[in-house]
Amino acid sequence: MLQITEGSHAVAEAVRLCRPQVVSAYPITPQTHIVERLAEMVADGDLDGEYICVESEFSALSSCLGASAAGSRVYSATTSQGLAFMAEVVFNVAGMRQPIIMTIANRAMGAPLNIWNDQQDSLFLRDSGWMQFYAEDAQEATDLHFIAYKVAEKHDILLPAFVCFDGFILSHTFEPVDIPTQEEIDAYLPAFNPLQRLDAKKPMSFGMYATPDYYQEFRYEINAAMVRAKKAIREAGGEFAEKFGRDYSGLVEGYRLEDADTAIVAMGSVCGTIKDAVDEMRDAGEKVGLLKIRCFRPFPADEVKEALRGVSNVAVLEKNINIGSRMLGAVGLEVKDAVYKSGTPVYSYVGGLGGRDIRKKDIKMITEWAKQGRNDCFFGLREELLE
Amino acid sequence: MALNVGCAGAPGRARDNKTGSWRVFKPVFDNEKCNKCGTCMLICPEVSIDEDAEGYPKVNYDYCKGCGLCAEECPKDAISMIQEEK
Amino acid sequence: MSENTCEFFDSGHRACGGCGPALAAKLITRAAGEDTIIVASTGCMEVFSTPYPETAWKTPWIHSLFQNAAAVASGVEASIKRQGRSEKVVVIAGDGATFDIGILCISGMFERGHDVTYICYDNEAYMNTGIQRSGATPFDASTTTTPAGKLSTGNQRPKKDIPAILVAHGSPYVATTSVATPKDLMDKVKRAINTPGPCYIQVHAPCCTGWGFDGCKTMEMGKMALNSGLWVNYEIVDGELAKARKVKRVPVDDYLKAQKRFRHLFKPEPNSDEIAKIQAIADKNAEKYGIDIKPVK
């Protein structure tokens, strides 16, 4: 049913429909509205699960790990400093192959302390073994939770996932969102059926340590599952499209890319602004399009390569910075790798850090820069502060 | 043998690791002195002392590391530690 | 049925011969029984008992990280409660994981009131990494990070009182015990797991390698600690001291002399000032817990 709702509340509603048995989270801006709403649902009996009020993000994900290993579907949400604090557990959850879903309300990393949006937080954990989805709007954020659980829990995948949506920009704004019914989600997402769990009737040891004789193969297996996840995501997204009419069968999504000379690549809410800018540039006769990356891990290199076939240059809009790398942004590195053999130039343009607004004119500017072959750089800098 | 997902393992597989090879001194039991108090069975950190049909201690030398804790604690001095012949 | 078939911690683990923590694991699991889920911290016990694929554990067991066993256990407990299952959840973690790096998670677990028994096997230093000082290391012990030297007599801080901290959290049952008193240990484990809410047991687990004594003396070392008053077996029920094991106390010297970690206190000649400080700790324990058996008149 279509309703006007805050992004965080739409996500909370999606989580409720997934029937998690254990929710464990620690409050941090701008994730709080999600977990507050989930706590209300538990208090009112609308969500039949345990809500653990932990003392830290580190314990939030640790308790999720224990609950998942014991056989429950679990959920958590965090951002930025909280995600960094749980980073050790993030790697551990993936290594132990627990299909935990965690919403990341993307926020900048300190210092300096900053509560506003960019995507540095989730991207710094790109190698942790978690799938990473990025939502453009509240509807996509909502729907990606259903898809994430479905893919994560498949026995040939068993990988956790971040569902990332931009803090404040999506988490605290109101949009019309079509929320499925419980019956619809029950028909799409079956009950959690763990491959193995902590159980006195069938005792096993979880989280043993691996010597050099074994460790590398366990890492190989995680990567192999991540590779398999590409197909599983396409299938789960396709099934979702059949049932709900919103198509997530691709890991990327093109917008007016046909015959484009310049492609802008981006993730998250800024894609909405980019679409408006593309429309205006197209109206002015410029051949520009957008490639939205919905799934960053696994990275859909083949789809990116296919989507960018024929473009002359690529401007990657980065809400992160790869400090110390020749390529300024983490997304650009992946895109450049994907199109490497074509020789198409790919540039990282970094902006929107710590909540700095990204305007249509910024997008037009970086499009122009890409055409001119301008090297990787920041955009939207306040030059007067950089004497 | 395929890896188990997530580095989980089947129970008790440590028995594949025969720690008896570590042993330098070997506990030898004198049933004449033994009063079947069960102390040695209770305190063996290797879980390698069992009870025989008559209730006397029986060492599983596949796992006994020869630490000598049983001999030290035996209230009847019924256990001697003898150097292993290699 | 033979004794060994009911063991839930089994042979083939890689602990040193005479290992106090290995004995603790065996006694704890024997007392807890098969309907138990063990949550472990990283540490000596985890490493010597679970190199893949050779686990010594025969009840369900999980290890995640060094410092999060209490939080993992919180999640396990919430999950099985939600599923209507009956297993008991028992944490077994070392003193470094408990006294130092894991105390945030432990405080959270006790404050939230999870039905989990948390057992610390206390071998009084970071043994797995090579005998570094922890908050559980006793006064004047020489470790690799508090070495005795020309200007130092070893660790200069007393042992942290974790049981008191957990009593302050409102734990219904807090107890200390020792591998040197196996029946006491097992009784306390049974009592703790049958007490609803978060309970804590601290097990003195002498480490022959870390403390510097022969592995055959593990029980003896535990008994000497008890008899000196440097370790006290006690129970605190609902915040009140309910019981403490009484002893005919002997001076601390023999206990100290028996271990390499205190050798510097006796060579080249006995450091009577430092030994007196350790004796004062034992005296204070004796008074606090009332462990001295009064001579019969």
Q: Which residue out of B40, B67, B79 would a mutagenesis test of the C interface target, given it has the greatest number of C Cβ atoms within 10 Å?
A: B67
The length of chain A is 387
Q: Choose the closest CB to B6 out of A97, A203, A209.
A: A97
**Bond preceding residue A112 cis, omega within 30 of 0:** yes
- In degrees to the nearest 10, what's the CA dihedral of A372, A375, A379, A384? -110
Task: Give the whole-angstrom CA distance, residue A316 versus residue A333.
Answer: 9
Q: Model's pTM, two decimal places?
A: 0.97
- Our CA dihedral for A48, C71, C81, A19, rounded to 10 degrees, sits at 20
Q: Which of C72, C110, C114 to mutate to test the interface with A (most CBs of A within 10 A)?
A: C72
Q: What is the mean pLDDT of the segment spanning C187-212?
A: 98
Q: Does the CA dihedral C100-C104-C110-C111 come out positive or negative?
A: positive
Gap between the Cα atoms of A307 and A17, Å rounded: 34
Chain A residue with CA closest to B3: the answer is A218
Instruction: Write the pLDDT tens digit of every residue in C48-79.
Output: 999 999 999 999 999 999 999 999 999 999 99
State the DSSP string of A61-114.
Answer: HHHHHHHHHTT--EEEEE-HHHHHHTHHHHHHHHHTT---EEEEEE-PPSSSP-
In CATH, the number for domain A252-385 is: 3.40.50.920
Contact A378, A349 (CB under 8 A): yes
| H/E element, A15 | helix A7-17
**How close A51 gets to chain C, by Cα (Å)?**
9
**Would you say how long chain B is, in residues?**
86
Dist. CA A334–CA A330, nearest whole Å: 7
Percent of chain A at pLDDT > 90 equals: 99
**Total domain count, chain C:** 1
Give Dmax over CA atoms of chain B in angstroms. Answer: 52
Nearest Cα to A152, choosing from A209, A93, A88? A93
Q: If you search the block for the tokens 């490497």, which residue do you land on?
A: A340
Structural domain spans, chain A: 2-244, 252-385
Whether residue C217 lies within 8 A of chain B, CB to CB, comes out as: yes
Token pair for C10: 């089994």
Q: What is the mean pLDDT of residues A208-230?
A: 97
- C98 DSSP assignment: I
pLDDT averaged over every residue in chain C = 96
Backbone angles phi, psi at B38, to 5 degrees: 90, 0
Q: What is the pLDDT of residue B85?
A: 84
Taking CA atoms, what residue in C is nearest to B48?
A: C11
CATH number at residue C99: 3.40.50.970
> Contact C3/B41, CB-based, under 8 Å?
yes
Task: Give CA–CA dist C227/A80, Å, rounded.
Answer: 53
Q: Would the CATH topology of A2-244 be identical to that of A252-385?
A: yes
User: Which of C50, C55, C217 minimises the CB distance to B72?
Assistant: C217
Summary mean pLDDT of chain B:
96
Mean local confidence (pLDDT), A225-247: 98
Q: Which residues in C lie closer than 8 A to residue A198 (C-beta atoms)? A: 37, 60-62, 76, 87
Q: How far is B63 from chain A (nearest CA, A)?
A: 21
Separation between Cα atoms, residue B42 and residue B40, nearest integer Å? 5
Q: Where are the domains of chain B?
A: 27-86
Give the pLDDT score at C6: 67
Q: How far is A112 from chain C (nearest CA, A)?
A: 26
> Which helix H or strand E contains A131, and what residues bound it?
strand A131-134
What's the pLDDT at A387? 82
Q: A207 pLDDT exceeds 90? A: yes
Comparing alpha-carbon positions, the chain C residue that sits nearest to B47 is C11
Asked if B50 and C3 touch (Cβ cutoff 8 Å), the reply is: yes
DSSP state of C57: B
Q: Is pLDDT above 90 for C3?
A: no
| Residues paired with residue C126 on neighbouring β-strands, in sequence order | C132
Q: Nearest Cα to A278, choosing from A300, A294, A256?
A: A256
Mutating which of C35, C36, C62 best tests the A interface, going by the most A Cβ atoms within 10 A? Answer: C62
Chain A residues within 8 A of B2 when measuring between CB atoms: none
Q: Report the neighbours of B using a cutoff of 3 or more CB pairs below 8 angstroms.
A: A, C
pLDDT of residue C294: 81
Give the whole-angstrom CA distance, residue B66 versus residue B55.
21
Q: How many CB pairs under 8 A join A and C?
A: 161
Contacts of A211 in chain C (CB under 8 A): 51-52
Determine the average pLDDT of the residues in A93-106.
98
CA distance C93 to chain B (A): 17
- Please, what's the largest Cα pairwise distance for chain A? 69
CB B37 within 8 A of CB B78: no
Question: How far apart (Å, rounded) are the C-alpha atoms in residues C42 and A279?
Answer: 56
pLDDT per residue over A249-281, tens digit each? 999 999 999 999 999 999 999 999 999 999 999
CB pairs under 8 A between B and C: 113
Distance CA B38, CA A209 (A): 34
Does the beta carbon of A154 lie under 8 angstroms from any beta carbon of chain B?
no
Q: How far away is chain B from the Cα of A167, in angstroms, using its nearest Cα?
A: 32
CB contact under 8 A, B17 and C216: no
- Neighboring chain B residues of C7 at a CB cutoff of 8 Å: 47
Query: Which chain C residues are Cβ-neighbours of B63 within 8 angstroms?
Result: 11-12
Pure H helices in chain C: 20-32, 44-49, 69-83, 95, 103-112, 162-168, 182-193, 208-211, 218-228, 253-257, 272-289
Confidence of residue C297 (pLDDT cuts 50, 70, 90): low
pLDDT surpasses 50 at C139: yes
C161-194 pLDDT, tens per residue?
A: 999 999 999 999 999 999 999 999 999 999 999 9
The closest of A60, A168, A62, A161 to A105, measured between CA atoms, is A168
Please report the pLDDT score of residue C116 as a whole number. Answer: 98
Closest partner residue to C104 (CB to CB) among A56, A72, A96 is A56
Using 50, 70 and 90 to split pLDDT, how confident is the model at A232? very high
> Does C52 fall in a domain?
yes
- Interface contact flag, A66 C52, Cβ < 8 Å: no
Which chain A residues touch B10 with a CB distance below 8 Å? 204-205
CB contact under 8 A, B11 and A206: no
Residue C229 contacts B, CB cutoff 8 Å: no
For position B2, what pLDDT does the model report?
A: 86
Chain C residues within 8 A of B66 when measuring between CB atoms: 17
pLDDT at C2: 38
Range 41-80 of B in CB contact (< 8 A) with C:
41-48, 50-51, 60, 62-63, 65-69, 71-73
Q: Give the closest of C10, C16, C17 to B15, CB-based.
A: C10
Beta carbons of A208 and B7 less than 8 Å apart: yes
Q: What is the pLDDT of residue C231?
A: 98
Token match 């012990």: residue? C141
Q: Tokens 């509340």 label which residue? A: A9
Angle in degrees, 0-180, between the axes of helices A57-69 and C103-112, rounded to the nearest 10: 70
Cα separation, A382 vs C237, in Å, equals 64
Quote the distance between the C-alpha of residue A357 and its chain's center.
20
How would you class C234 by CB atoms within 10 Å of its CB: exposed for 0-12, middle for 13-18, buried for 19 or more? buried
Q: Is the pLDDT confidence value at C1 over 60?
A: no
Look up the domain containing C284 and give its range.
3-289
Task: Please name the member of A97, A196, A204 whose beta carbon is closest to the beta carbon of B11.
Answer: A204
DSSP A165-233: EETTTTTTSEEEEEPPPHHHHHHHSPPP--SS---TTS--EES-B--TTTHHHHHHHHHHHHHHHHHHH
Residue C195 has pLDDT above 50, yes or no: yes
C1 touches chain B (CB under 8 A): no
Q: Domain for residue C134, yes or no?
A: yes
Residue of C nearest to B69 (CA): C216
* Residue B16 with chain A: CB contacts under 8 Å: none
B11 contact residues in A (CB cutoff 8 A): 203-205
Q: Which chain A residue has its CA at the smallest distance from B9's CA?
A: A205
Q: What is the mean pLDDT of residues C80-104?
A: 98
Type of residue found at A82: G
CB proximity under 8 Å: A 156-175 to B: 158
CB distance A59–C57 less than 8 Å?
no
With 60 as the cut, is the pLDDT of residue C124 above it?
A: yes
Strands C88-94 and C148-149, sheet pairing: unpaired
Name the pLDDT band for C15 (thresholds 50, 70, 90): very high
CATH pick for A2-244 out of 3.40.50.10420, 3.40.50.970, 3.30.930.10, 3.50.30.30:
3.40.50.970
Mean pLDDT of A67-89: 98
Give percent of chain A above pLDDT 70.
Answer: 100
Angle (nearest 5°) at CA A302 between A301 and A303: 95
- The reply to whether residue A218 touches residue B7, judged by beta carbons under 8 angstroms, is yes
Question: Does the pLDDT of residue A146 top 80, yes or no?
Answer: yes
- Cβ-contact A89, A62 below 8 angstroms: yes
Flag whether residue A56 sits within 8 Å of chain B, measured between CB atoms.
no
Helices (H), A298-359: 301-307, 330-338
Instruction: Please choose, from the candidates A318, A24, A330, B67, the residue with its C-alpha nearest in 3D space to the C-alpha of residue C20.
Output: B67
- Measure B8 CA to nearest chain A CA, in Å: 4
The architecture of the domain spanning B27-86 is 2-Layer Sandwich (3.30)
Q: Given phi > 0 = left and psi -120 to 50 = alpha, else beta, which region is A247?
A: beta
